[in-house]
């Protein structure tokens, strides 16, 4: 579920244009160890496709398709050629996954779980600080921002380089961001405050370096924008499960 939520956040960060847009990004994750399990360093190129009411995030082994028009998230596993479908509302998604595992639970999250998830975000503070630093990155004129998430389960500090040279519908971006955050249990009450902070970042993120703390372990990751193409006709069926993939239950 964590990977789905992270991928959803990535989609929200760039969602916005009225015509289909293709974005290529370069990602790097440093090696890290959590609870005795070590993950090696990882590099991969991600591709994002998005239109007015749908988006797709292709990673190396997995793709996340968001269908705003249907209110669902489709998860593709390319290693075993399977796919699953979940409600975009995370409360309903968790409930559905639990029922599919054989447990008898009511629709939506139980009250105690809702309170627990609210507690996870209760002391979280989100802030963005604009700096005077500027640089040209991959041909885009960028300004540096410091974004911090304090408290919560995974506090982080990000160095964000953003540019208004990247042409996107930023009004739609802001609306979609707010809508997505409102769907997450525990974040509904914070949407307004988070949106005010994110609006301080002018334009599209061209490069970011993030250091997060998860269970006392440091995780460092980076993203760099490679290419943006607007007004494209997407490949047929790109926002649907591909032929030959088997539908499975639960979260992948």
Give tens-digit pLDDT for 170-184.
Answer: 665 555 565 556 555
Please list, in sequence order, all residues whose beta carbon lies within 8 angstroms of the beta carbon of residue 184, skipping any fewer than 6 positions away: 5, 90
Q: What is the DSSP letter of 81?
A: T
Convert the pLDDT of each residue in 159-214 to its tens digit.
999 999 998 766 655 555 655 565 555 565 667 778 788 889 999 999 999 999 88
Convert the pLDDT of each residue in 148-157 to its tens digit.
988 777 789 9
From the list 50, 48, 73, 76, the residue with the least C-alpha distance to 61 is: 76
- What does the domain layout of the chain look like in residue ranges? 2-247
Convert the pLDDT of each residue in 47-106 to its tens digit.
989 887 888 999 988 999 988 889 888 999 999 999 999 887 655 555 555 555 554 444
The topology under which CATH files domain 2-247 is outer membrane lipoprotein receptor (LolB), chain A (2.50.20)
């Amino acid at each position: 579920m964590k990977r789905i939520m992270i991928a959803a956040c990535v989609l929200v960060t760039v969602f916005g244009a009225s015509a289909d847009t293709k974005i290529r990004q370069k990602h790097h994750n440093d090696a890290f160890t959590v609870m005795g399990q070590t993950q090696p360093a990882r590099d991969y190129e991600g591709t994002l496709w998005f239109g007015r009411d749908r988006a797709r995030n292709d990673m190396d082994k997995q793709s996340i398709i968001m269908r705003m028009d249907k209110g669902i998230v489709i998860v593709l596993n390319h290693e075993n050629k399977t796919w699953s479908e979940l409600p975009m509302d995370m409360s309903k998604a968790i409930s559905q996954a639990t029922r599919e595992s054989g447990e008898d639970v009511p629709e939506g999250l139980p009250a105690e779980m809702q309170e627990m998830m609210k507690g996870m975000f209760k002391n979280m503070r989100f802030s963005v600080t604009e700096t005077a630093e500027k640089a040209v990155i991959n041909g885009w004129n960028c300004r540096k921002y410091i974004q911090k998430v304090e408290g919560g389960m995974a506090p982080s500090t990000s160095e964000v380089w953003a540019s208004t040279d990247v042409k996107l519908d930023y009004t739609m971006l802001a609306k979609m961001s707010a809508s997505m955050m409102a769907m997450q249990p525990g974040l509904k009450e914070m949407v307004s405050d988070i949106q005010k902070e994110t609006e301080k970042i002018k334009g599209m993120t061209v490069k970011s370096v993030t250091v997060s703390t998860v269970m006392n372990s440091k995780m460092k990751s980076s993203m760099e924008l490679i290419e943006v193409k607007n007004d494209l006709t997407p490949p047929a069926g790109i926002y649907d499960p591909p032929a030959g993939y088997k539908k499975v239950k639960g979260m992948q």
